[in-house]
Amino acid sequence: MGEEGLCLSCVERAEIITGALETAGISSKMRVAVTGGSGFIGTNMVDHFLSWRVDVRSFDHKPPRKEAHRPLWREVDICDRARLDEVLREFSPTHIVHLAAKTGMDLSDISFFAANMDGVQNLIDVARTLPKLQRVLFTSTLLVCRNGYVPSDDTDYGPPNLYGESKMRGEQIVRAAGPLPFGWTIVRPTAIWGPWFEAPYKLFFKMVERGLYFHPGRKPVFKAQSFVANTCYMFERLLVAAPDEVERRVFYLCDYPKRSVTEWATAIQRCMGVRRILTVPRPLLRAVARVGDAAMRLGWSDPPLSTRRYNNMLVEAPYPVERTERVVGPLPYTLENGVAETVRWLRDSNFR
């Protein structure tokens, strides 16, 4: 399993959870509804609240990824207002984590993303009628602005594609809803990884294991990212924080203190016990990227490296996480802890 002491034992995992439980302040009377509960983050979110012994339900149009979640699942399309009203009224949540969304890039019709706009409006309309509801966390995206751009305030937008535009409109729908009988907060997750993930970060782990990843030069690159268990902890902390700390505000979900991509990849390499990662000089990478550009002009649609991919490898964005850190406090998992949990899950789920 790599270097001794790096990958978590069952006892160490229990200690992390127990330590967080002691400071959580979670009420046993909470009833949490997770829309999009069958997705990557949603699956972890349901597990998170189960670990707190909180009454939780998953609302999704797809069956759960974990068979253990099936009794907690209610089938519903967020765009089906009548069905959404039926299942949420039946459960009567005190808190809602809204994760349900439609994703996709390079599309030309914004109606494809109706769930990100009409779905938000449906949820607001239904939520108005829920007598016990205290707070809703609406999940947005970094792509309400172009990649790498740090907005000057919570409503500084510049989406680079229709997906980002649909999420921007979702945020605007929340803000335009007027006085509501419940509190709301908008969250913008960064690059989230961990158990139950898919591409591209699952591929990143696979590339490190197979020796296909290399460090792009010696200068560290810092990208906003979060281990999914930390992400769930941030959601939970924002759900129960004092209203004057969180309501009507935007929070970036990013692990802190920040760690470089080199540190992340090296932690994966060590935990997996594979060969050390090579460092390739950036001038050489730029030359290879130009060859990739030429190959694309000749008809190769997806070369291993192009100038666009090279630039994406190096782009950084110091998203403002100070607000999140102030409200959430210390995170339960370090980078190394998260890598160890993820590698364990990959091996248990027949990663190869």
Summarize pLDDT for 162-205 with one digit per residue, the tens: 999 999 999 999 999 999 999 999 999 999 999 999 988 999 99
Q: According to the model, what pLDDT value does residue 4 have? A: 36
Chain segment 58-95, per-residue pLDDT in tens: 999 999 999 999 999 999 999 999 999 999 999 999 99
Average the pLDDT over each of 7-11, 56-60, 85-89, 152-156 and give the range with the smallest value.
7-11
Q: According to the model, what pLDDT value does residue 8 have? A: 47
Nearest residue to 321 via CA among 234, 263, 244, 256 = 256
Model confidence at 42: pLDDT above 70: yes
Show the tokens assigned to 156. 């500084």
What integer best gives the mean pLDDT of the chain?
Answer: 91
pTM given for the model: 0.89
Show the tokens assigned to 22. 């002691």
C-alpha distances in angstroms, 141 versus 75, 163, 191, 340? 24, 9, 10, 27
Q: According to the model, what pLDDT value does residue 25 have? A: 54
Model confidence at 54: pLDDT above 80: yes
Beta strands in the chain (DSSP E): 31-35, 55-60, 73-75, 95-98, 135-139, 183-189, 191-193, 214-216, 225-227, 250-253, 278-280
Model confidence at 106: pLDDT above 80: no
C-alpha distances in angstroms, 142 versus 70, 201, 219? 31, 17, 25
pLDDT-above-70 percentage for the chain: 91
Q: What mean pLDDT is predicted for residues 330-345?
A: 97
What domains can be seen in the chain, in order of their start residue?
A: 10-198+222-259+317-330 (3.40.50.720)
Sort strands 214-216 and 225-227 into parallel, antiparallel or unpaired. Answer: unpaired
Q: According to the model, what pLDDT value does residue 28 have? A: 62
Model confidence at 129: pLDDT above 70: yes
CB-based contact 150:224 (threshold 8 Å): no
Tallying the residues shown for the chain, one arrives at 352
Single-letter amino acid, residue 154: D
CB-based contact 339:268 (threshold 8 Å): yes
How confident is residue 2, by pLDDT bands cut at 50, 70 and 90?
Answer: very low
Q: How far is CA 179 from the centre of its chain?
A: 28
Burial string for 177-191 (b: 16+ CB within 10 Å, else e) reads eeeeebbbbbbbbbb
User: Ranked by mean pLDDT, which of 198-207, 278-287, 314-323 comes out on top?
Assistant: 278-287
